[in-house]
Structure 1
Amino acid sequence: MIAKISAMENLGGAIGYNFKKVEKGEASILLAAELYQSNDGNYTMEDVLADMQALIPKKCRTKKTVFHCSLNPHPDEKLSDETLMQIAKEYMEALGYGKQPYIVFKHNDIAREHIHIVSLRVDSEGKKINDKFEKRRSKQITDTLERKYNLIPSSKVSNKEEVETPKVDMGKGNIKEQVASIVRTVLKHYRFCSLGELNVVLSKYNLAVEEVKMEFRGKKYDGLVYVPTDEKGNKAGTPIHASDIGRGVGHTAVQNRMQKSKQNVKPLIPTIRNKVLQIMRTSPKTEEELRQRLEEQGLRAVIQKNESGRIYGITFIDDKEGVALNGSRLGKGYAANIFNGYFSNPTDNPFLDETLYGSLSARLEQSATVQPSQQNTEESDNLIDELFEDMADGLFLPTGNDDWKETAWQRKLRRQNKVNIKRRKR
């Protein structure tokens, strides 16, 4: 069982989010402690909000007064409402919130049933509930509850199981919830440097993302919409705006994720590039054969073609590591047009050219076994790209005795000297 705790300022937002699920029939109230109950035994959002707000002193120094937690049993667990209610009670008591007002909601909007708990981080006197080592203590509590109720331990939930999310199924309904679950899982697990790479990952789940530009009251805004698709990638449902899903999946969040990924993926590039190089040197005759051999090495290759059958995109995905890399991100020699040329004429395999890839192979194998520093990895990537640019421009004709790195470095110095000369003339 996994617990996710959030400290928030907006009490109305936390309560409203859960009551909105109740109104839609996607959640139910399991338990309410120290809160007003109407004569008919029901709880309303207005009453719960008023009760909790009344217990927060006006001069309270704590800004994030709201405790919001979700308890997530293993997807294979099917627990009764009574068991979930008892688990919630014992969890709150052990964490130090036993005497606090709180309300427990059971969510059934996705296949994995789970509960949400909303409470206050301060008591009626404004004293903050002890939150030291809160997440560590929470993990100890959930481990104890797993043993007591004989639950599947959270330690048995591997990364692979977490990302094996079902595809969007238009026949099941709750499309927005399906999309939200997929998007959050993908953004949490995968690293990507462009929307194109993100789209390749999402395509596995019958989903796509599109960038939209809007103007409101004279100001321009960038946004994202997520579009359900069929198996062929065609639009199959109404686009869902990121703001309708919630925080963390919008334009700004995805852009931040891409920027961080550009640094995080650098140590992984040499290993993936070397795997692709070694497989291509076996001269696979078909695209399907390439895919199969890469899968044996833990990689997925997604090849994109236009209507005429020309390859215009190739992306390599390591699902275990959670990374998606466009071919050109591995280097100029791994771009889509290189693979298109090869599969148009498999007898002419550029990856077998020792003068082109020979010295690179040795260095890539070394990079795969010796973990480079981030700075050295970035430098090598840039030099490799520059080397391929030299070859494409006809400025560098490799020989068996040439040191590719030294040659690329000399070219870089020549470029800098040209820039300096131009500046002096000005």
Structure 2
Amino acid sequence: MIAKISATENLGGTLGYNFKKVEKGEASILLAAELYQSKDGRYTMEDVIADMEALIPKKCRTKKMVFHCSLNPHPDEKLSNETLTQIAKEYMETLGYGKQPYIVFKHNDIAREHIHIVSLRVDSEGKKINDKFEKRRSKKITDALERKFGLIPGSKVSERTTTETPKVNVVQGNIKEQVANTVRSAMKHYTFCSLGELNAILRKYNLAVEEVKTEYRGKRYDGLVYVPTDDKGNKVSTPIHASNIGRGVGYAAVQNKMQKSKQMVKPLIPAIRRKVLDVMRTSPQMKERLRQRLEEQGLRVIIRKNDNGRIYGITFIDDEKGIAVNGSRLGKGYAANKFNEYFSNPENNPFLDESLYGKIDTTLQKQMQTTQYDEQESDNLVDELIDDMVGDSFSSSGNDDWKEAAWQRKLRKQNKVNLKHRKR
């Protein structure tokens, strides 16, 4: 069982996050200690906030007086409400919050059921509850609870992939911690070669990354900011600079990850290319149908369009294997403009042209021997050159993508000219 503890000063936001889950039927209240209960046995957000705020002295020096914790059993565990309630009671008692008011929510919005606990870090006299070595003590408590209730050890929970990583939720509070956990999880599990591909990965978790460049006393500094978004990709919070989150998510770490990924991606590209080609040859005339058929192949697709509806970017993601690749990285015939060409006129499917894409039953070994494959690998080398020189800068509006596309065409043209000269 994994415990995640955070401290915040936003009591309304923390309770609001959990009560909204209750309203949507995605959570239920298991226990409320030292809190007002209505005659019909219900707890309302207004009453819980009023009760907790009444216990906070006006002259309270502790700024982050709200305790928020999630207890996450192994996904394979199926625990009863009674067992979860007892675990929550013993956890809070042993951690030093047994006499505090607190409320326990059971979340079932994802496959892995877990509980959230909201309490106060100060008592009625304004004295702060002891939080020294809190996370270390918490780990000892969860280990003891695992032994007592015969639970699957928490070390096995951390082996799960980021497919279970929750979306960043600004209402919940502790945004920096959420962002840090999400980015570190993505960096650990996924392989990506550009910021655009990282953005496609993070979009699933309501997060985006942007590159920032500044100058100070004549010296240039490169950095990253992370921006929480809604389900449509719109920004919903102030950007957070990577340096304010912690190590492992900054510009240097991401650049290092991208460089290492380039060699790791190459042997995986042919399999993804083959899946995409097989799907496109079924002529999915709508983007929704394309997404559905790719998901059946184990691929997730992110399509980026400008204000006029033109596709200017496409990324394919294999969540199980942890790889994200832009269409152009699969080869010239899989770039965004090729998909835009298809969806503009689905009756004329370029992916059926065997002279460009080869036969459907061609084996991987034969693919690697064809002229088409060599040309695609040449394009990939140019793409990598571009990545090395300028990276894949993220733009929320997409206004800079035409510049990059033009640059790519220019470099490819130059590359082909150089090849012709060598043949002579």
Q: Same fold (TM over 0.5)?
A: yes
Contact 2:176 2:240 in 1 (8 A): yes
Q: Does 1:252 align with 2:252?
A: yes
Picking from 125, 135, 139, the partner of 1:106 is 135
Match of 1:106, SS state, is: helix
1:390-425 deviations in Å (ceiling 9; x for gaps) = xxxxxxxxxxxxxxxxxxxxxx9995683597xxxx
Flag the 1:157–1:356 CA change in 2: closer, same or farther, 3 A: same
Contact 2:161 2:189 in 1 (8 A): no
Q: How far did 1:215 drift? A: 2.2
Q: Which structure's CA Rg is the greater one?
A: 1
Q: How many residues align?
A: 287
Distance 1:115 1:217 in 2: 46
The residue that corresponds to 2:166 in the other structure is: 166
Flag the 1:349–1:116 CA change in 2: closer, same or farther, 3 A: farther
State, as a whole percentage, how many aligned pairs show the same letter: 59
Contact 1:163 1:186 in 2 (8 A): no
For 1:221, give the aligned amino acid: Y
Q: How far did 1:260 drift? A: 0.8
The residue that corresponds to 1:95 in the other structure is: none
The residue that corresponds to 1:384 in the other structure is: 376
Flag the 1:74–1:365 CA change in 2: closer, same or farther, 3 A: farther
Q: How far did 1:338 drift? A: 0.5
Flag the 1:387–1:251 CA change in 2: closer, same or farther, 3 A: closer
Contact 1:333 1:388 in 2 (8 A): no
Equivalences for 1:1-400 in 2 at 5 Å?
Answer: 74=73, 78=87, 80-81=90-91, 104-106=133-135, 115=139, 146-147=146-147, 150-154=150-154, 157=157, 162-359=162-359, 362-364=362-364, 382-386=374-378
Q: How far did 1:232 drift? A: 2.2
Instruction: Please say which of residues 310-319 and 210-219 is displaced more in the overlay.
Output: 210-219
For 2:421, give the aligned amino acid: K
1:164-191 deviations in Å (ceiling 9; x for gaps) = 2221222222222221121111111111
Q: How far did 1:364 drift? A: 3.2
Flag the 1:234–1:22 CA change in 2: closer, same or farther, 3 A: closer
Higher relative contact order (CA 8 A, sep 6+): 2
1:26-67 deviations in Å (ceiling 9; x for gaps) = 9xxxxxxxxxxxxxxxxxxxxxxxxxxxxxxxxxxxxxxxxx
Match of 2:302, SS state, is: strand
Match of 2:261, SS state, is: helix
For 2:134, give the aligned amino acid: F
1:107-130 deviations in Å (ceiling 9; x for gaps) = 8xxxxx95499xxxxxxxxxxxxx
Contact 1:214 1:222 in 2 (8 A): yes
Q: CA RMSD in A?
A: 4.3
Distance 2:328 2:284 in 1: 20
The residue that corresponds to 1:55 in the other structure is: none
Flag the 1:210–1:162 CA change in 2: closer, same or farther, 3 A: closer
Contact 1:163 1:189 in 2 (8 A): no
Unaligned runs of 5+ in 1: 4-17, 27-71, 86-102, 108-112, 118-141, 368-375, 390-411, 422-426
Contact 1:328 1:335 in 2 (8 A): yes
Distance 1:319 1:343 in 2: 25
Unaligned runs of 5+ in 2: 12-70, 76-83, 96-131, 382-414
Contact 1:317 1:323 in 2 (8 A): yes
Flag the 1:105–1:307 CA change in 2: closer, same or farther, 3 A: same
Q: How far did 1:258 drift? A: 0.4
Q: How far did 1:150 drift? A: 1.7
Match of 2:135, SS state, is: strand
Distance 1:2 1:366 in 2: 48
Distance 1:226 1:266 in 2: 28
Contact 2:315 2:324 in 1 (8 A): yes
For 2:356, give the aligned amino acid: L
Picking from 413, 416, 421, the partner of 1:418 is 421
Q: How far did 1:81 drift? A: 3.9
For 1:236, give the aligned amino acid: V
For 1:418, give the aligned amino acid: H
TM-score (norm 1): 0.57
Q: How far did 1:286 drift? A: 0.8
Flag the 1:25–1:193 CA change in 2: closer, same or farther, 3 A: same
Distance 1:159 1:366 in 2: 37
TM-score (norm 2): 0.57
Contact 1:184 1:249 in 2 (8 A): yes
Distance 1:420 1:358 in 2: 25
For 2:330, give the aligned amino acid: L
Q: How far did 1:206 drift? A: 1.4
Q: How far did 1:382 drift? A: 4.8
Distance 1:388 1:259 in 2: 14
